[in-house]
A and B are shown apart, each in its own frame.
Chain A
Amino acid sequence: MTQEAITGAVPSLRAQRRTLRLARVRTAARWLLLVAGGLLFASVFVYALLSAVKSPADVLSGRWWPREWHWSNFKLPFEQAPFARYYLNSVVVGVSVTLLNVVTCTLAGYSFAKFDYRGRDVLFFIVLATLMIPLEVIYVPLYALVYDLGWVNSFLGLIVPSGTSAFGIFLMRQSIDAVPDELLDAARIDGAGELRILRSIVVPMVLSPMAALALFIFMANWDSHLWPLLVASDDAHRTLPVGLAAMQANNLGSSGIPTMMAAAILALLPTLVLFLALQRKFVEGVTMTAGIK
């Protein structure tokens, strides 16, 4: 092997340093692009906030920065519509649906994971099959059913049909499956009843996925528009999305823009705050929906 061949195979120190610098520049550039993109995404929220505090004349003027800061605009949604009521309804429905889901899914997950009865696998398969039935396909007869039950314009109609979810059952089943059978058997030998076992042994071991499920269900329900629009759209039962959409219909002139921006921001605050506070759980919830398909 000649000298050139050897030296040709290993790049010179200068060349190495250049490659490294190039790589660093490329990484920095990529990072800058990502940050810029992220800021672009966030700019929509900033624009909404800035518009919410402008006067109606200022909103479409083309200036980004408000001429005056009308923080009092955030009171307007409450004055122009029963906004507080919409909020309350969303919270009541959201919490109820979440609780109902956590209870039914945990019970069913436990059932499918730790018990053996005839038809268990068939039933579980049917549960999974309902994943293929989105609301959009069944909401017409579902509405007719809810009407026949007398649940139109009531909280029952808003809560009960959403009371369980295949995704939740699958998740809880998977999580509870990991609980060691020996623990359960030991408790049974000690004479504990099944509910007691569930409550004191199983649940404490699956609190984490339960929390992720609860967060996911709550946030999905907060966004629910089509079903509440159909089932409960009188002012006493309207949830936030329905109320917001209704306010929008009455506020399309330019004088209503700051009000609507304020209302929109108020409406998305809870889930945004929940997300910021519980990011990891939120991400967990989203990846879980992907995991089961």
Chain B
Amino acid sequence: MTRALRALIVATAALVGITACGSSNDNASKGGAENVKLTFWTHTHPPMIELNKKLISEYEAKHPNVKIAYEQIPNTEFATKMLTALSNGSGPDIINMDDVALRGEYIPKNLLAPMDAAAASKAEAAYVPGTLDGAKGSDGKLYGLPTEFNATAFAINKKHFEDAGLDPSKPPATWAEVATMGEKLVAAGHEGFNFLYLHSGWYTQQLQTLLNETGGSILTPDGTKSALAQPQSVQALQIWNDLIRKDKVGNADTASREATVPFDDFASGRRSMTMIYPWAVAQLKADNPDVYKQMEVVPLPQVDPAKPTGRWYGYYMAVNKASKHQAEAWKFIQFVTSEHDRWLTDVNFVQPVVGWENSPAAKADVPFLNVWAKAYSEGKFDEVAPHYSEIQDEIKSAVERTIFDGQAPAASLQEASKAIDQILAG
């Protein structure tokens, strides 16, 4: 055998050897020793990231054999990355994800590990009834614990109101009032009101909020077909359309699409009114203290003020079914989700334990507590369906066709309905 051939075989063997030593994605604990390495992914919300980092170092100090690798994913790729990684088994041990993804995708696809029955019943007793439903499967098992639980309210800029000759203590109670007040705010040189145009999840959750109010829905009660083309559903998109295209209280084309700071336009003092969530209030307080001083959180405007409704959503920490350290993962989750006061104080994340609104931390650190408490009592989780991400894509397209291209809401939702029916059937 020639030297050349031998050299080549050595080289090939080396390549194979490197392959076997393989990837740097090593989750297995070193045999024998107790050392455990957990990977943990969240989306990108700076205040939450800060507190997570602190909690992680505290946990590592208390448990020296555990190391936690914490990764933050950009918000626009979060859903894709999470789904792909969980689907192919390369995902993290611990995830922090919204209830729609949990209930719509991960739990039905068997990507998560359920909590054991004893721990689950303890949790049920500790949290406000109904609030854990966001992490429950159709089997009734519990798959996660909440890091944040949000209801929807409304924020106004008091100074802008004064500029426009409006009374800040009389915020809009209906969407019609949002329109009239919005027009006056525009005349005073501000953007009156706008929705957020970020990724498909945002489009869907805002439409869902309106659907809850108009009595429409995305799906039929049996969940097999789309209900978006029905009159009450069309009404929801009509509200959106009228505000932006007819009454022109906001400009969709120049709205900020900054996914890390979703309420950038309101926070920078450009916009006068917006839907809002508790965590956004905290973010604003930290980043834009002057606008924060001008801000007032008020109840969400309603289609029918006599029957107020709203929308809930929550983020839960859950365990990857493919994780090799599920017990350790749950221990960490229990730790992080038990620091209720710190989440409230530092990040304005409400964790819906029984009596949360009466805790001293809440009373001291949750601004506009009475508005939030009321919002929390009215609302429901979103509807979900299989292949929900595709449905969200269709909803985003439908809203874009109406708001940016001017297609009539009924026609746009007809198109979306047809596509969604196909998605559900296929």
Asked if A and B touch directly (CB within 8 angstroms), the answer is yes
Q: Are A149 and B19 in contact (CB under 8 A)?
A: yes
Q: Are A151 and B75 in contact (CB under 8 A)?
A: no
Chain B 248-289: CB-based contact to A (< 8 A → 1; otherwise 0): 000000001111110010001000000000000000000000
Q: Are B22 and A151 in contact (CB under 8 A)?
A: yes
B3 and A147 within 8 A (CB):
no
| Cα of A195 to Cα of B1 in the assembled complex, Å | 13
Query: Is A256 in contact with B23, judged by CB distance below 8 angstroms?
Result: no
- Assess whether A12 is interfacial by the CB under 8 Å rule: no
Alpha-carbon distance between A233 and B72 when the two chains are bound, in angstroms: 12
Sorting the interface of chain A by its residue count into under 10, 10 to 19, 20 to 34 or 35 or more gives 20 to 34
What's the Cα separation between A68 and B270 when bound, in Å?
24
Between A and B, 9 residue pairs with Cβ closer than 8 Å are A149-B19, A151-B19, A151-B22, A155-B24, A156-B19, A246-B74, A246-B77, A250-B259, A253-B268
| Given A194-B4, A250-B259: A156 and B18 interface contact (C-beta under 8 Å) | yes
For residue B2, CB closer than 8 A to chain A, the reply is yes
- Which residues of A are found within 8 Å of B3, using beta-carbon distances? 193, 195
Determine whether A271 belongs to the interface, using a CB cutoff of 8 Å to chain B: no
Q: Is the CB of A235 within 8 A of B90?
A: no
Q: Which residues from B are CB-within-8-Å of A156?
A: 18-19, 22-23
Q: How far is the CA of A3 from the CA of B114 in the complex (A)?
A: 109
Known contacts A147-B88, A235-B71, A249-B75: A256-B258 contact under CB 8 Å: yes
Near B by CB (< 8 A), chain A positions 11-58 give: none
The 8 A CB mask of B13-38 against A (1 = contact, 0 = none) is 00000110011110000000000000
- CA–CA, A157 and B19, complex, Å: 10
Other A-B pairs beyond A150-B22, A249-B259, 19, CB < 8 Å: A144-B88, A147-B89, A150-B25, A151-B19, A154-B23, A155-B24, A193-B3, A246-B77, A249-B74, A249-B76, A250-B44, A250-B74, A250-B75, A250-B258, A250-B259, A252-B257, A253-B256, A255-B264, A256-B258
Known contacts A249-B76, A249-B259, A253-B261; A193/B71 CB under 8 A: no
- Closest beta carbon of chain B to A192's beta carbon, Å: 10
A246: which B residues are within 8 A, CB to CB?
Answer: 74, 77
User: Which of chain A's residues has its CB closest to B270's CB?
Assistant: A254
B201 to chain A, nearest CB (A): 14
Minimum CB–CB distance for A135 against chain B, Å:
17
**Distance in Å from the Cβ of A71 to the closest Cβ of chain B?**
24
Let me know if A153 is at the binding interface, CB within 8 A.
yes
Is B374 an interface residue when CB atoms closer than 8 A count as contact?
no
Of chain A, the residue at the smallest CB distance from B262 is A253
**CB–CB A151/B23 < 8 A:** yes
Q: Smallest distance from the beta carbon of B155 to chain A beta carbons, Å?
A: 18
B88 and A152 contact, CB distance less than 8 A: yes
CB <8 Å contact, B74 and A152: no
A276 to B296, CA, bound (A): 57
> Across the interface, do A195 and B256 meet the contact criterion of CB distance under 8 Å?
no
Is residue B7 within 8 Å, beta carbon to beta carbon, of the partner chain?
Answer: yes
Please count the residue pairs between chain A and chain B whose beta carbons lie under 8 angstroms apart in the complex.
74
Pairs A-B, 6 closest by C-beta atoms: A253-B258, A154-B23, A249-B76, A195-B4, A194-B4, A252-B257
- Specify which chain B residues have a CB less than 8 angstroms from the CB of A196 in the assembled complex: 4
Assuming the contacts A249-B259, A256-B258, asked whether A154 and B25 have C-beta atoms less than 8 A apart, the reply is yes
Q: Which residues of chain A come closer than 8 Å to B19, judged between CB atoms?
A: 149, 151, 156
Q: Provide the A118-154 mask, 1 if CB < 8 A to any CB of B, else 0.
A: 0000000000000000000000000010010111111
Contact partners of B44 in chain A: CB under 8 A: 250
Residues of B near A153 (CB, < 8 A) are 23-25, 90
Q: How far is the CB of B76 from chain A (nearest CB, A)?
A: 4
Chain B facing A: main interface SS: loop
- Residue A79 lies at the interface, judged by CB distance under 8 Å to chain B: no
Q: What chain B residues lie within 8 Å of A152 (beta carbons)?
A: 23, 25, 88, 90
Q: Which residues of A contact B7 (CB under 8 A)?
A: 195
Instruction: Say whether B81 faces chain A, with CB atoms less than 8 Å apart.
Output: yes
A234 within 8 A of B: yes
Contacts of A149 in B (CB 8 A): 19, 22
Say if the beta carbon of A251 comes within 8 Å of chain B. Answer: yes
How far, in angstroms, from A255 to B74 measured CA to CA in the complex?
17
The residues of A that contact B257 with a CB separation of less than 8 Å are 252-253
* Residue in B4, B22, B90 whose beta carbon sits within 8 Å of that of A147 in the complex: B90
Nearest to B88 among chain A residues (CB) is A147
Instruction: Say whether, besides A195-B4, A253-B256, A253-B258, A150 and B23 are in contact (CB < 8 Å).
Output: yes
Select A193's contact among B2, B81, B90, B268, beta carbons within 8 Å.
Answer: B2
By beta carbon, the residue of chain A nearest B257 is A252
B22, A252: Cβ atoms closer than 8 Å: no
Docked complex Cα distance between A155 and B77 (Å): 21
A253 contact from B75, B76, B89, B264, Cβ within 8 A: B264
CA distance A251 to B76 in the complex (A): 11
Q: From residue 225 to 249 of chain A, which have CB atoms closer than 8 A to chain B? A: 233-236, 246-247, 249
| CA of A147 to CA of B72, assembled, Å | 22
Please give, as numbers and ranges, the residues of chain B lying within 8 Å of A147 by CB-CB distance.
88-90
With A147-B90, A152-B90, A254-B256 known as contacts, the answer to whether A233 contacts B22 (CB < 8 A) is no
Q: Smallest CB–CB gap between B52 and chain A, Å?
A: 16
Check A193/B88 contact, CB under 8 A, given A152-B23, A154-B22: no
- Complex Cα spacing A156 to B259, Å: 32
Contact with A along B84-125 (1 / 0, CB 8 A): 000011100000000000000000000000000000000000
Chain B residue with Cβ nearest A194: B4
Residues of B contacting A254 with CB < 8 Å? Answer: 256
A253: chain B residues within 8 A (beta carbon): 256-258, 261, 264, 268
Measured CA separation A252–B19 after assembly (Å): 40
A250-268 near B? 1/0 per residue, CB < 8 Å: 1111111000000000000
Interface residues of A in 182-228 (CB under 8 A from B): 193-196
Residues from chain A with Cβ under 8 Å of B264 in the complex: 253, 255
Q: With A147-B88, A153-B24, A157-B23 in contact, do A193 and B4 touch (Cβ < 8 Å)?
A: yes
List chain B residues, Cβ under 8 A from A157: 23
Q: Across the interface, name the chain A residue whose C-beta is closest to B24.
A: A154
| Neighbouring A residues of B77 by C-beta, 8 Å | 233, 246, 249
